[in-house]
Structure 1
Amino acid sequence: MRIKMRKLLVALAAAVVIISFSISAAIAASGNDATGNRQALSLQKAIDMAIQNDKGLKSALAEIDRTRSLREQAQDNVSFTPVEGGYSGPYGPQIEATWLQLLGADLNYRASQRTYQADLDALALKVCKAYWDVQVAQEKLSLQEKAKQQALLSLQNARAAVQAGTISSAELAVKENLWKQAEDSLTAAQHDLDNAYTIFNNLVGLEADARPLLEEQPAYSPLDVVDLEYEVERVLENDPNVWKAQQNIDVKRWSAEMMYSSGSYTPYDARQAELQQAEYTLASVKETMAKATRSLYYQAKSLEENYGAAQAALKAAQEKLKVEQAKAAAGMNTKADLVAAELDVAKAQETLDELVRNHAYLKLAFEKPWAMSSSN
């Protein structure tokens, strides 16, 4: 069953709540079953396995526990709660310092929770890309196998033509060189597939030589956006980096009013400068994320503009192949003509499939752009 791309990361967040971190060692150990047959692995299963396997997430969970403990300690140290803007004079070094320590500890605790969720989003996106990268590499390998077959037929025909005296030895040398290039390209494509599997297996916790069947294809559907600026605001409201920058301003506002907030006297101008720096940081983070969101939108829309042309190219190649197949049945063409038509279909299909995968990735990234920046 195909996963709806727009809801994948959202569904992941809900699934995390019930994760027990008890995945079977048999599943995590290999992508092959006991008989040696390759197992099919869905995209959602791959995401679940990656969550179980990722040590960074486990560290992020430990960070939540650590910051919670420090916040509780900071809370215990507070004996008096100041009122923001409610007192014009100093509360005293101890009161101000312990209060700002609590604010900082509270921010760190809440930020650690946001960081964990952002790490989940980034990991899900990374697994999607790795899953689809394997498919891309598989198609390119199949394409190079067909290209090698074409080059071999061309070489065989050239050798026969040399013997018949219809072409020169120089022309044969060209065909031999093309054959060698086809062999090298096939070897490189195999290496690319092995590398794609290595990256994927490392993410989900499989052995390096596992070769699970990654067959779940993304479904194409245009990115549905009524108002881009509304989507930009949605992202800014949910981006954990924007949230952290905004929360830091709140802490700096308290600090700006308290001359002993650092534990010793801090000049007024220095405290105001710190507040101003925090405001500049927030503006910069928001600007960066807004640009990233708009960029993802336009990239997705650009691919959508090319989708129709890619479909048309595939259909044309398929029609040409039907003609060549009919000619072959009637003995009106050569094997080389048929293989060339098959290669054209394979190229057109690969181009269309890669476009769909790239579009699916961009749609996911558009939902939570911070996930893309974190995963990279």
Structure 2
Amino acid sequence: MRLKMRGLLAPLAAALIFIYLSLPAAAAAGNGESGEKQIISLEKAVSMAVQNDKGLKSALQEIERTRSLRESAQENVSFTPVEGGYGGPYGPQIEASWIQLLGADLNYRMSQRTYQANLDALALKVCKAYWDVQVAQQKVAVQEKAKQQALLNLQNTRAAVQAGTAASSSLAVAENLWRQAEDGLTAAKHSLDDAYASFNNLVGLDAGARPLLNEQPSYSPLQVANLEYEVQRVLENDPNVWKARQNIDIKRWSAEMMYSSGSYTPYDARQAELKQAEYNLENVKEAMAKATRSLYYQVKSVEENYGAAVAALEAAREKLRVEQAKAAAGMNTRADVMAAEVDVAKAQATVDELVRNHAYLKLAFEKPWAMSSGG
């Protein structure tokens, strides 16, 4: 069973990991006596999650269960009908056994596709959880910088009030901003703890573990020559669309067999079931096509915001360079430089979060069903 799981994981890793990311082959270093933190690459995180996920283990058992049921149904078929052929009614037993075999065969093949879809979904969830930790870490760093700024402003305000160059009311404002900065840092740390808890739960680490997740996604715009071609690609590979299409084939057989259910079923009822299956296929295709187009436009929206965010970061860096030059010439204060440093930190965090969100959406656009399969 382990060999089967590895075989199914290989195309997943290729599609969801190596296409968009440059992943080093570094193995995770365990916590040793030296107290080194565990370093986990994104590829390693996916592998750990696969080994840890109980849902995947259950899905493997479902493959074995449906395989066994299919073999049992096969043994009950003593005659193979011809679709569209005319041999008179085949008889209740033959028709019922044949439809049961078709259904069992569909369930078996669907269980295999469901397992692969669950793998896709798990990889996507791991990517998001991995990057969510990085986002939370960066927000903590920004809040720490903001706290330093608030403390410096508070110290300067106290000195100004004591020197009589500032009103006493300004001290209350500075103290309030300081408390807000402290609260913001506390909240950011709580968010980081929550992000780590989600990641650790996926990969099977203790809740209190704090591994180093240093692998950063790279930014490259999504290249799509024809959106409708991509929509069709998704519809051809979506396991839910595939199942709905296969179900129509079964209903088509049932429509020709009055005893397919094991007892007599009126012709109109059988035709209605076939129509229902056809409508269901169209509904599933429309929903997946809509999701695919939506993901495409989300990616493009992030790309537009990315350009503006990079420009804002460059402006913030230029302002910092100016403030540092002024400080060197004695033309401003440390507070002015600190404010510019905070602006750079915030602008950098905005850019980095957009890059991570962009990478996630690109992965989701490859296999949109992974988002719904992931819950």
Same fold by TM-score, threshold 0.5 exceeded?
Answer: yes
* 1:103 correspondence with 2:102: yes
Following superposition, the deviation at residue 339 of structure 1 comes to 1.0
Q: For residue 349 of structure 2, what is the aligned residue in structure 1?
A: 350
| Structure-2 separation of matches of 1:14 and 1:166 | 64
Runs (5+) with no aligned partner, structure 2:
1-8, 17-26
Aligned to 1:114, the other structure's residue is in SS state helix
**TM-score, scaled relative to structure 1:** 0.92
Q: For residue 373 of structure 1, what is the aligned residue in structure 2?
A: 372
| Structure-1 separation of matches of 2:87 and 2:158 | 97
* 1:228 correspondence with 2:227: yes
| Structure-1 separation of matches of 2:73 and 2:33 | 54
Q: Retained in 1: the 8 A contact 2:150–2:174?
A: yes
Distance 1:351 1:367, change over 3 A: same
Q: For residue 19 of structure 2, what is the aligned residue in structure 1?
A: none
Residue correspondence of structure 1 range 187-206 to structure 2 within 5 A = 187-206=186-205
| Structure-2 separation of matches of 1:329 and 1:193 | 37
Residue correspondence of structure 1 range 219-258 to structure 2 within 5 A = 219-258=218-257
Q: CA RMSD in A?
A: 1.9
Distance 1:11 1:113, change over 3 A: closer
| Structure-2 separation of matches of 1:306 and 1:144 | 23
| Structure-2 separation of matches of 1:32 and 1:352 | 32
Q: For residue 123 of structure 1, what is the aligned residue in structure 2?
A: 122
Q: Retained in 2: the 8 A contact 1:77–1:98?
A: yes
Q: For residue 12 of structure 1, what is the aligned residue in structure 2?
A: 13
Aligned to 1:295, the other structure's residue is in SS state helix
Q: For residue 65 of structure 1, what is the aligned residue in structure 2?
A: 64
| Structure-1 separation of matches of 2:372 and 2:15 | 22
Q: For residue 37 of structure 1, what is the aligned residue in structure 2?
A: 36
Q: For residue 5 of structure 2, what is the aligned residue in structure 1?
A: none
Following superposition, the deviation at residue 163 of structure 1 comes to 1.4
**TM-score, scaled relative to structure 2:** 0.92
Matched letter for residue 109 of structure 2? R
What are the Cα deviations for residues 128-161 of structure 1, in whole angstroms up to 9, with x where unaligned? 0000000000000000000011111111111112
Q: Which moved more, 1:59-68 or 1:333-342?
A: 333-342
Residue correspondence of structure 1 range 1-376 to structure 2 within 5 A = 10-12=11-13, 32-87=31-86, 89-376=88-375
Q: Retained in 2: the 8 A contact 1:31–1:211?
A: no
Runs (5+) with no aligned partner, structure 1:
1-7, 16-25
Distance 1:265 1:11, change over 3 A: closer
What are the Cα deviations for residues 310-359 of structure 1, in whole angstroms up to 9, with x where unaligned? 11111111121122222223333222111111101101100000111111
Aligned to 1:354, the other structure's residue is in SS state helix
Distance 1:31 1:284, change over 3 A: farther
Matched letter for residue 211 of structure 1? R
Distance 1:152 1:130, change over 3 A: same
| Structure-2 separation of matches of 1:210 and 1:32 | 10
Following superposition, the deviation at residue 9 of structure 1 comes to 8.8
Following superposition, the deviation at residue 176 of structure 1 comes to 1.0
Matched letter for residue 166 of structure 1? T
Matched letter for residue 280 of structure 2? T
| Structure-2 separation of matches of 1:363 and 1:298 | 11
Q: Retained in 2: the 8 A contact 1:90–1:258?
A: yes
Q: Which moved more, 1:81-90 or 1:346-355?
A: 81-90
Q: Retained in 2: the 8 A contact 1:314–1:349?
A: yes
Following superposition, the deviation at residue 31 of structure 1 comes to 6.1
What are the Cα deviations for residues 275-315 of structure 1, in whole angstroms up to 9, with x where unaligned? 11111110000000000101111111111112221111111
| Structure-1 separation of matches of 2:329 and 2:30 | 46
Matched letter for residue 12 of structure 1? A
Q: Retained in 2: the 8 A contact 1:64–1:109?
A: yes
